[in-house]
Chain A
C-alpha cells in the first residue's frame, strides 16, 4: 500500500482529503485506482509530475511504486 498526497488544487476531487492509502504497483495502476475512487481525478493528473519517495519523475507513466512508498503530485518544473 502506498500513501498518496494531494495538493490543495487536487483536493477538490478528493472531497478535501489530503492523502489516501492505496494499493498500486505502478503509477498507471495508481491513477486507475484513484480515478475509481475519486471520479474526475484522472484528467488533472495527466501532464503532472510526481515525486515517489522524494524522487521527482516528470513522466511517471511506467514508474513502479513500492509498498510503503510516498507519492506526491507536483507541477512540472524545468528551470532557466
Chain B
C-alpha cells in the first residue's frame, strides 16, 4: 500500500505562539492583574500529622488591609464520592480536604486557611496572626511505618478496598491484582529466574511555572477564573463541587501553561481564590511559591516493587510476577493500577500476576505524572529483564524481540493489542549505529522499553471560516506541547489551504463545548479527530455553497486544494471556486461558515518505545553522566515531527532526572528539606547530551492521519535504561533510585 501524500502533515512549520513565548509576551498564570485586585495566601501546616483543635482567624481579620479569611468551615463538608474517571482514583471528599484541611492536617504544608489582603506582604503577615491549636500526632513517613500493625492511622474511616472483610482502620487503601495463568507453573518451566526488589522515591513533575490563579466574582454570583491548568473544564467541575456551586456559575479561562506533566490536572488554590473573591467582591490573585509547589502539590509516588521473572534457556519468558506498593500521599489514590497494568505490557506472557497496594502516609497527595505509575514499574521490570538476558547470555534486544508483544498479543491486563509498533522500535534500535558504537573506559550501555495506553476521552472543536478564506481552529485543550499548530496543520490539510492561513486558539469553558484534560497523550489524537471532523464539516458546507451557485447536486462537487471543482458537464462550464471566493460570498449563500464536532474518541493506539542509553561513571565521585541517548518510539504518524521529537526529548530528560538526581528529602518530622531547584536536582540542558529521538511510524488505523499519543511513553523507559547502563559500566545492579553520586560511590566503595 502506498503512503498517503500530504501537504502539511509531517512538515515542521514554526508554531505561531513561539514568538510570544521567546519574547516574554505570552501571558502565563501569574501575569494577569486586575483593578482592585487582592492577594491571597495560604496558611500551611507546620506538622506532618496533627489534629486541629481550633482555628482563630480573628487576629488576622483585624489586620489592616485584610479583607477575608476562610477555613474548611467555609466549605461544604462533602461526603465520600469517587471522581469519575480520575487517573489517581480521587474522591471529592479527599479533594476538598486537600484544598483545606478540616479535622486533621495530613502532611507538612497541608493548607489550613486562606487570606485575601490588599498586598501580598499584608496577606503573608496575616497568616502569622492566625492561631491554630494543633494536637501533634505521630507521623507516618514510609511504607513500613504505614503498614505496621501499630501504625498511626491517617483516616479512621479508611478500609482496604479489594480485601473482603476488611473492617479495621488502616493506611492500606486498596489491594489490586491483575494477571492470568499459573505463575508457579510458569516459574517451574523456567531455566533461569531473577527476583529482586526495587525502590524509587517521591519525585515532583517539576513544571517551571508555579500554580497561579486570578478569580473575579460578580454580584450575579458568576465567577471568572484565569489559571494555568491542563483542564479548564475539570477546574470548573471540581471548583463547583468543592464550593457547592453550579458549574454554570464558574467560567474558567486557561492561560498559557509553563508545564504540567499531569500535575496541573487537579485543583489546589483555585476554589480558594473563587471563595475569597465571592467574599470580598474583588478579584483575588494567588500564586504559589516554588516551596509551596513542592510541599503541597502532587508529586508522584515513591514505590517498592518486588519482581520475579523467569525464562527458558532459549530465552522464552515463562512467567512474570510482582508485588508493587505505591505511596498515595495523604489521601488514597496512587497510580498503582496503571503501574501494575503497564509493568509487563510489552511482552508475551502466558503466566503473569501482579499484586498491588495503595498506601496512605503523611506526605502530599500524589497527582498524575506522565504515564502515571509506569516509569517505576518499568524500572523494576526492565532491570530484572536486563539481568535475565545477561544470565541467559543473550543480547538484550534479541531477548526482548523473542518475547515482544505484537498485534493480537494479549496484554497482561486482558485485551489483545491491535496494530502496534513495539517490534519495529526494537528492530530500529538494533539497526541504529548507536547500538554498536564503541564505548570508553568506565562507560556502559543500557537498553530498556516502555509502554503507555494513551487515551481518547471527550473533545470538542470548531473551525471558523473568516471572510477572507482564512480559518480559526478553536479547541478547549490547553496547549502544553505545540498542539495548536498541530491541530492547525490537520485543519489546513483538510481545507487544502496554506498553514499560514489557519490559526488555532484555546477557548474557555463558555466559548467551546466540553473538553477533557490535556492529558493522557490525547490532544493531537482526540481533539485532532474533532478538528478533522469540524474541518470536513466546513468542506461539506463550502461544497454545498458552490453547488448552490452552480445549481448542481452538492454530491457532485469535489473539494481539492482549497477549491470546489464543478462536476463534469456542468451548465456554463463554471470555473472552480476557491475558499476565499466562497468565504467572501458567504452572506449570499447562507451566512457564516462554521464547522463543529464533538466526540468521545476511541481507538487511541498504545505507545511503545525502546531506549538506548550510554553512561560514564566517575569512580572517584560516583557521578553518572549521560554520554549518549537514543529513543525509538512508535508515534503512529508524526503530524509535526519537531514537536513529537520535543515530547520525546522532554520525557527522556525527566526520566533521567528521576534516575540520577531527583528525590524528596524528608527530615524526621516529615518536612521536605529540599523544596527548591537548587537542592532538588533536576537536569538542566548542560547536564544532558542531545537526546536523539527516532520516530517510528506505524499509523494508528483508527485516526484519520494515523496519530498515536506520544507525550507519556518517553518517560517510561529512562529509569531502567540509565540503571542498566550503570550496571554495564560498573557491574553493580542498582535497585534504589536515584543513582545520586553518594549512593553510587557508596556502592562502588563497598565493592572495593
Which chain A residue shows the least CB distance to B264?
A80
- A9 with B177: in contact, given A72-B415, A80-B87, A80-B371 (CB under 8 Å)? yes
Please pick, from A54, A76, A77, A78, the residue contacting B416 in the complex, using a CB distance under 8 A: A54
Complex contact A59–B603 (CB within 8 A):
no
Complex contact A79–B520 (CB within 8 A):
yes
Does residue B521 face the partner (Cβ distance < 8 Å to A)? yes
Separation of A70 and B712 alpha carbons in the complex (Å): 28
Separation of A53 and B455 alpha carbons in the complex (Å): 16
Does residue B453 face the partner (Cβ distance < 8 Å to A)? yes
Complex contact A58–B600 (CB within 8 A):
yes
Does residue A27 face the partner (Cβ distance < 8 Å to B)? no
- Nearest CB in chain A: distance from B466 CB, A: 34
Separation of A22 and B359 alpha carbons in the complex (Å): 37
Does residue A12 face the partner (Cβ distance < 8 Å to B)? yes
- Nearest CB in chain B: distance from A47 CB, A: 6
Does residue A66 face the partner (Cβ distance < 8 Å to B)? no
Which chain B residue shows the least CB distance to A5?
B414
Most chain A C-beta atoms within 10 Å of own C-beta, residue among B85, B177, B372: B85
Which chain A residue shows the least CB distance to B368?
A80
Separation of A29 and B36 alpha carbons in the complex (Å): 58
Complex contact A7–B368 (CB within 8 A):
no
Which chain B residue shows the least CB distance to A7?
B178
Complex contact A58–B371 (CB within 8 A):
no
Separation of A58 and B702 alpha carbons in the complex (Å): 16
- Nearest CB in chain A: distance from B402 CB, A: 23
**Chain A residues near B455 (CB-CB < 8 A):** 56, 58, 77-79
- A54 with B520: in contact, given A78-B87, A78-B368 (CB under 8 Å)? no
Please pick, from A8, A12, A72, A77, the residue contacting B453 in the complex, using a CB distance under 8 A: A77
Which chain B residue shows the least CB distance to A80?
B262
Please pick, from A9, A56, A74, A80, the residue contacting B604 in the complex, using a CB distance under 8 A: A56
- A77 with B418: in contact, given A47-B84, A55-B602, A55-B603 (CB under 8 Å)? no
Separation of A59 and B604 alpha carbons in the complex (Å): 14
Does residue B337 face the partner (Cβ distance < 8 Å to A)? yes
Separation of A56 and B456 alpha carbons in the complex (Å): 9
Separation of A59 and B456 alpha carbons in the complex (Å): 11
**Chain A residues near B84 (CB-CB < 8 A):** 47, 76
**Chain A residues near B265 (CB-CB < 8 A):** 78, 80
- Nearest CB in chain A: distance from B733 CB, A: 29
Separation of A55 and B176 alpha carbons in the complex (Å): 23
Complex contact B602–A80 (CB within 8 A):
no
Complex contact B180–A18 (CB within 8 A):
yes
Please pick, from B162, B414, B456, B520, the residue contacting A51 in the complex, using a CB distance under 8 A: B414
Complex contact B262–A70 (CB within 8 A):
no
Does residue B138 face the partner (Cβ distance < 8 Å to A)? no
* Interface residue range, chain A: 20 to 34
* Interface residue range, chain B: 35 or more
Which chain B residue shows the least CB distance to A77?
B453
Interface hits, B85-128 → A, CB 8 Å = 85-87
Separation of A58 and B85 alpha carbons in the complex (Å): 8
Complex contact B416–A79 (CB within 8 A):
no
Interface hits, A12-37 → B, CB 8 Å = 12, 18
Does residue A75 face the partner (Cβ distance < 8 Å to B)? yes
- Nearest CB in chain A: distance from B407 CB, A: 9
Complex contact A7–B414 (CB within 8 A):
yes
Task: How many A-B residue pairs have C-beta atoms within 8 angstroms? Tell me.
Answer: 103
**Chain B residues near A74 (CB-CB < 8 A):** 341, 413-415
Most chain B C-beta atoms within 10 Å of own C-beta, residue among A5, A47, A53, A78: A78
- Nearest CB in chain B: distance from A44 CB, A: 11
Separation of A47 and B737 alpha carbons in the complex (Å): 35
**Chain A residues near B205 (CB-CB < 8 A):** 80
Complex contact B414–A72 (CB within 8 A):
yes
Does residue A2 face the partner (Cβ distance < 8 Å to B)? no
Separation of A73 and B413 alpha carbons in the complex (Å): 9
Separation of A5 and B527 alpha carbons in the complex (Å): 31
Which chain B residue shows the least CB distance to A18?
B180
**Chain B residues near A7 (CB-CB < 8 A):** 177-178, 414
Complex contact A79–B82 (CB within 8 A):
no
Separation of A5 and B413 alpha carbons in the complex (Å): 10
Which chain A residue shows the least CB distance to B456?
A58
Please pick, from A56, A58, A75, A76, the residue contacting B415 in the complex, using a CB distance under 8 A: A56
Does residue B370 face the partner (Cβ distance < 8 Å to A)? yes
Complex contact B712–A80 (CB within 8 A):
yes
Complex contact A79–B521 (CB within 8 A):
yes
B344-372 interface bits toward A, Cβ cutoff 8 Å, 1 = contact, 0 = none:
00000000000000000000000011111
- Nearest CB in chain A: distance from B215 CB, A: 26
Does residue A45 face the partner (Cβ distance < 8 Å to B)? no
CB<8 Å pairs between A and B, sample of 14: A8-B178, A18-B180, A55-B603, A55-B702, A56-B602, A58-B600, A72-B414, A72-B415, A74-B341, A76-B84, A78-B368, A78-B457, A80-B263, A80-B372
Closest 3 CB pairs of A and B: A80-B262, A79-B520, A72-B414
Chain A interface residues toward B at CB < 8 A: 5, 7-9, 12, 18, 47, 51, 53-59, 70, 72-80
Chain B interface residues toward A at CB < 8 A: 82, 84-87, 162, 164, 176-180, 205, 261-263, 265, 337-338, 341, 368-372, 413-418, 452-457, 516-517, 519-522, 600, 602-604, 702, 709, 712
Interface contacts beyond A79-B371, A80-B261: sample of 17 additional A-B pairs, CB < 8 Å, sorted by A: A54-B418, A55-B603, A56-B415, A56-B455, A56-B602, A59-B600, A72-B413, A72-B415, A74-B341, A74-B415, A78-B87, A78-B265, A78-B516, A78-B517, A79-B368, A79-B372, A79-B454
